[in-house]
Amino acid sequence: MINHPITRRTAVGLAAGVAVVAAAFIQPVRAADKSVTVGLDLSLTGADAESAKRVEYGAMMAFDEANTKGGVNGYKIVVTPYDDGSATAGQYDPAQAATNARKMVSDKATVAAIGPQMSGAGKAMAPILSEGDLATITPSSTNPDITDPKFAAQYRPEGKAIYFRTVATDAFQGPYMANYYADVLHVKTVYILDDSGAYGVGLADAFQGQAEKKGIKVIGRDRLDPKAADYSAVLTKIKSLAPEAIYYGGVLQAGVKLAKQAYDIVPKMIKGGGDGVQGPEMLSAVGYPANEGWYATVASPHVTEDAKMAEWVKTYKDKYHVDPDDYAVTAYDAATVILAAIGQVTAGGKAPTRDAVRDAIQAVKVSTLQGPVAFDANGDLQDKTISVFQIKQDKSLPPDDMRQYHYIGVAPSA
Amino acid sequence: MSFSDLLLQQTINGLSLGAMYSLLALGFTLVYGILELINFAHFNVFMVGSFIGMWTLQLLGINGQAVVMTGLPLIGVMLLALLVTMVLSGALGVVIERLSLRPLRNVKGPAAMITTIGVSYVLFNIILLTVGADSKNYPNPLPPVQWAIGDAVLRLREVLIWAIAVLLMVALHFFVQRSRMGKAMRATAQDPEAARMMGVEVDRIIIIAFFLGSALAGAGGLIFGLYYNFTSFIIGFTAGLRAFTAAVLGGIGNVPGAMLGGVIIGLIEAMGGQFIATAWTDVIIFSILVLVLVFRPAGLLGRVAPNKS
């Protein structure tokens, strides 16, 4: 066996050979394969993972459809997913969300984003996205502060709206539900709880303000630690104060435990929350009958049961094997808006830039699954609808089917 | 609800929490007493234990709260689930000791403690990645029996938790105080070198301490699931930290101290939620811990630690 020492020349030759072989396998970037990147930030780790999946599928469905049609004006849409949930937080983690926002902003190919799912993440991301001039459309984060011009210096220091929503905000979700408590359920006394998160506190505050205006007596307000397991102390206190109803502002990490223990301690009391308690885990992890009777709202029109949506729902189910919820629809709508904006920007053969895509989103008027979508100057949806649901087990449906949330109607706006 | 009923109800709530914290605190104390090591892996052995209990109950055909059992079958299922959970959790503790702590036995400094933090995160992530992040509905065959005492309610599951916790703690106490093995354990705790010279197999004693502590954590995990009807990958940290606090409060290394500490923390949590605000629970618990340690650095019942001189 001849043992050649590897000289510098042979090494260069070898490297060149490897490069040639590798190049043969890697698809060269041809001019026709133009693409743009859209970021997708959701809370895929933690208590809201189930809901996050449905939102993700909604957005992916719209992008996949566009790509199978050949993309938008020849541009393929590449989706870069980000997860802002962390194992230590057990749910969305604002620190992780900020990191994700920085990654999105520093990726030059990213022209727009969808997300985040959670308001706590949104508050961390918005200022970074503003500095990077990157528009995002959230399908489900409802905390009003982020788009409120009062807090513009904090959440959009660069001035322009970059945080758009295909849902209404808690400035409507909380108060409209207070109207529902007062006018429809005739509640006179309420105890309010929140989960100490950005979304939960904001929602509970908004509910409380309107409830007091409506003459509902707020007997108490308390804050749950979402990582604690035991809420029996506060529930026993509530039992002793005997309000007619509980309103909970928060997401499912505390919500699941609250629902279970509330059923043990105050089974007859009226209980409700916002879109944070509208999720599959409320059905599967809480279980019947503990979850029955809970009211939940969604900050968008309820369309998944519309006859004209049947085909869309079926396509979604066939593809992803779960039922879409309303935020799967708003995610699809958010993707529709982004596709329309990219389409408009690239119509004249121009390459899409973040700035142009943002302006196109701002000016968009597009018909989506939930109806026509247009934004005001702050990025909020012009049409504000809050839908009310109540969990009532229908034994003919699977226990974790989202239709176990029976649609009651639209919450009163005054 | 009258004030006395309210007080009674919060006491019931607090004692149930306390029973769980005590079981968990015993594991910290057993290992600390012998190795002077704070075992943070214990947090998540508890969590894994609750999953082992869940799977055992599911294998026995119990799903959610739909299957309700009474009488002998219930006792049988409970004992079997408890036994399987404790044995497997105990085995997990032994594996952790064997694989990650024994190689560090003679390393000075905090290396072993840091390793237990690492192991804790490994367990946590294994469960997160294999069973998923969503909360699980816990299989529970207990009938919804309850008794009213005035306006306060005492439920069967509370009685059961207390019974299991007290039985296990009494058994542990007798094991440590009366059995030959217990004597060897106490000897090792006092002075490992001398114990070794007297013919005590120190490695075996350490394994037994890990087995017992982890088995108790597993039992705690099962009880947690049955009490709250839920479990999740994240339950270890809050419960573990409070149980650790209980162990320190009672005097770490001290078996009755761990029980006392657990009950005190449970009662503080319940009463704090009633009379102050739930949001302040941790502030209250840890302030009391700081106060106790300032005035009684060795904890309420005094600390027991190996004589390292």
A44–chain B nearest CA distance, Å? 9
Asked if B238's CB is within 8 angstroms of A227's CB, the reply is: yes
Nearest to A90 among B234, B270, B277 (CB): B234
Q: Could you tell me how many residues make up chain B?
A: 309
Secondary structure E strands in chain B: 136-137, 146-149, 152-155, 230-231
Residues of chain B with Cβ-Cβ distance to A232 below 8 Å are 13, 16-17, 270, 273
CATH architecture of the domain A171-298+387-410 equals: 3-Layer(aba) Sandwich (3.40)
A246 touches chain B (CB under 8 A): no
**pLDDT attached to residue A89:** 81
The CA–CA distances, whole Å, from A3 to A7, A15, B33 equal: 12, 19, 63
Question: How many folded domains does chain B comprise?
Answer: 1
Minimum CA–CA partner of A88 in chain B: B234
Map residue A349 onto helix, strand or coil.
coil
Query: Which residue of B lies nearest to A85 if distances are taken between CA atoms?
Result: B133
- B306 found inside a domain: no
Answer whether A392 touches B (CB < 8 Å).
no
Indicate the helix (H) or strand (E) that contains A408.
Answer: strand A405-410
- Number of Cβ pairs < 8 A linking chain A and chain B: 120
Token readout for B130 is 């294999």
In angstroms, the separation between the Cα of residue B306 and the nearest Cα of chain A is: 33
According to CATH, where is 3.40.50.2300 located in chain A?
Answer: 35-168+308-373, 171-298+387-410
* Residues B134, A285: C-beta atoms closer than 8 Å: yes
**Which pLDDT belongs to residue A31?**
45
The pLDDT assigned to A403 comes to: 87
> Phi and psi at residue A366, in whole multiples of 5°?
-135, 145
Query: Which residue of chain B comes nearest to A223, CA vs CA?
Result: B279
Of B235, B239, B273, the CB nearest to A233: B273
Tell the burial category of A29 from Cβ atoms under 10 Å away from its Cβ (0-12, 13-18, 19+): exposed
CB contact under 8 A, B65 and A240: no
Asked whether residue B302 is domain-assigned, the answer is no
Q: A312 to chain B nearest CA, in Å?
A: 27
Distance separating alpha carbons of residues A139 and A55, to the nearest angstrom:
8
Measure the CA–CA gap between A357 and A346, rounded to whole angstroms. 9
Q: Do B137 and A227 touch (CB under 8 A)?
A: no
| SS3 (DSSP) at A342 | helix
Our CA-based measurement puts residue A288 at a distance from the nearest CA of chain B, in whole angstroms, of: 8
Q: Of B35, B43, B23, give the one whose Cα is nearest residue B203.
A: B35
**Which residues on A lie below 8 Å from B269 (Cβ)?**
230, 233
**Taking CA atoms, what residue in A is nearest to B126?**
A87
The average confidence (pLDDT) of chain B is: 89
Residues A261, A238: contact at Cβ < 8 Å? no
The answer to the question of residue B176 being in a domain is yes
In a domain, residue B301? The reply is no
Closest residue to A46, CB basis, from B133, B237, B277: B133
Establish if B71 belongs to a structural domain: yes
Q: Per the CB < 8 Å rule, is B273 touching A47?
A: no
| pLDDT, tens digit (0-9, with 9 covering 90-100), for A183-222 | 999 999 999 999 998 899 999 999 999 999 999 999 999 9
Alpha-helical runs (H) found in A69-111: 94-106
Query: Which of B110, B100, B95 shows the shortest CA–CA distance to B48?
Result: B95
Contact: A228, B228; criterion CB under 8 Å: no
- B137 and A45 within 8 Å at the Cβ level: the answer is no
CA-closest candidate to residue B124, choices A45, A36, A131: A45
Report CB contact under 8 Å: B1, A240: yes
DSSP B124-184: HHHHHHHH-SS-EEPP------EEEETTEEEEHHHHHHHHHHHHHHHHHHHHHHHSHHHHH
Contacts of B233 in chain A (CB under 8 A): 87, 90
B271: in domain: yes
Q: Which residue has the tokens 């009488």?
A: B71
| Span between the terminal Cα atoms of chain A, in Å | 91
CATH class of the domain comprising A35-168+308-373: alpha beta
> Min CA distance, B196 vs chain A (Å)?
41
- Smallest CA-to-CA distance from B95 within B130, B129, B119, B112 is with B119
Distance CA A162, CA A147 (A): 9
Binary contact (B137, A285; C-beta < 8 A) = yes
Read off the pLDDT of each residue in B46-71 and give the average, rounded to a whole number: 90
Considering only CB atoms, A260 lies closest to which of B124, B230, B269, namely B230
Please give the residue of chain B at the shortest CA–CA distance from A196: B279
B217: domain CATH number?
A: 1.10.3470
**What would the pLDDT profile of B147-196 be if each residue is shown by its tens digit?**
988 888 899 989 989 999 999 989 998 898 899 988 998 888 888 888 88
Sign of CA dihedral A46, A108, A163, A326: negative
Instruction: Write out the residue range of the structural domain in which residue B263 sits.
Output: 3-295
Residue B14 domain-assigned (yes or no): yes
Q: SS3 sequence, A189-200?
A: EEEEEECCCHHH
- φ/ψ (deg, to 5) at B246: -60, -45
More confident residue, B92 or B67: B92
Rounded to a whole number of angstroms, the distance from the CA of B1 to the nearest CA of chain A is 5
CB contact under 8 A, B9 and A256: no
The larger pLDDT score, comparing residue B135 to residue B97, is at: B97
At residue B231, what are phi and psi to the nearest 5 degrees?
-145, 165
Q: Which of A220-224, B17-21, B62-66, B204-208 has the lowest mean pLDDT?
A: B62-66
User: Which chain A residues contact residue B229 at CB under 8 A?
Assistant: 260, 287, 290
> Token pair for residue A138?
């959230």
Each residue's pLDDT tens digit, B232-277: 998 998 899 999 999 999 988 888 898 899 999 999 999 988 888 8
Selecting from B125, B153, B238 the residue whose C-beta is nearest the C-beta of A228 gives B238
How far apart are the CA of A260 and the nearest CA of chain B, in angstroms? 7
> B21 lies in a domain?
yes
Q: Comparing C-alpha atoms, which of B253, B248, B251, B288 is closest to residue B267?
A: B288
Which amino acid type is present at position A251?
Answer: V
Q: End-to-end distance of chain B based on CA atoms, in angstroms? A: 57
What percent of chain B has a predicted confidence (pLDDT) above 70?
98
DSSP E strands in A184-252: the ranges are: 189-194, 217-223, 245-249
Q: Which residues of chain A have pLDDT under 50?
A: 1-2, 24, 27-31
